[in-house]
Amino acid sequence: MTIATTGTTTLDRLPIGSQARVTGIDDKTGNADRLMEMGLLVGRPVEVARVAPFGDPIQIKVMGYHLSLRSTVARGIAVEIENASTTS
């Protein structure tokens, strides 16, 4: 798995601490509506806060609160990196 530092990637590959913006949600898992209702909207900022001890799920920060998603779901969320992390 490659970790992107700039450009477009998916949420599961976003490095911890990097600021990004949602560019699209793929509805393969059938969760797109709920993800949007939870604040993951195209154009909105999103950040990966941390990863669970066993590597999955991830904890993201969106609309100022924390949400946990599995990587399989996060893979369907396209993001554009805005501000690469300085900590990792």
Partner 1 sequence: MIVHSREPLSAQNTQTIALVGNPNSGKTSLFNRLTGQRRKVANYPGVTVDRHVGAVTRDPNTQLIDLPGCYSLVSRSLDEQLARDVLFGWIRNEQTPDGVIVVVDASNLERNLFLATQVIDLGLPTIVACNMIDVVRDRRDQLDTHKLAQQLGVPVIGTDARTGEGLDELHNAIRALDSPTTKAMGHPAKRTPFDKPAQSAFQEMSNVVTSRNLATPSMTDGIARILIAPDSVSDDGDTWNKLSPDDKHAIITARNAIETPVASLVCQRYDTIATIVSAVHIKNSDGRPTATDRIDRVLTHRFWGLTISSTIMGAMFLAVFSGAAPLMDGVEFVVSQLATAARSLLGTGVFADLVVNGVIAGVGNVVVFVPQIAILFFIIAFLEDSGYMARVAFVMDRIMSATGLHGRSFIPLLSSFACAVPAIMAARTIDSRRDRLTTIMVAPLMSCSARLPVYIVIISAVFAGNVWLEAGILFTMYALGLVTALMIAAVLKRTILKGPPATFILELPPYRRPRFTIVCRETWDRTKPFLTQAGTVILAFSVILWALAYYPRANNTSPDNIDTTAQLRQSYIGRLGQTIEPVIKPLGFDWKIGVGLASSFAAREVFVATMGVVHGVGEDADETSVPLREKLLNDKWPDGRRVLTPLVGVSLMVFYVFACQCMSTLAIVKRETNGWRWPTFMFCYMTTLAYVASFVVYQGGQALGLG
Can you give the binding site for partner 1, defined by CB under 8 A? Answer: 25, 29-39, 41-42, 49-50, 52-57, 59, 63-70, 72-73
**Smallest distance, partner 1 to C-beta of residue 17, A:** 11
Give 7 or 30: the residue with its C-beta nearer to partner 1.
Answer: 30
Give 69 or 81: the residue with its C-beta nearer to partner 1.
Answer: 69
Alpha helices by DSSP H, listed for 1-88, are 32-37, 71-74
**Smallest distance, partner 1 to C-beta of residue 45, A:** 12
HSE-CB of 84 using CA atoms within 13 angstroms: 8
HSE-CB of 52 using CA atoms within 13 angstroms: 12
- In the structure encoding, which two tokens stand for residue 72, read together? 């399989």
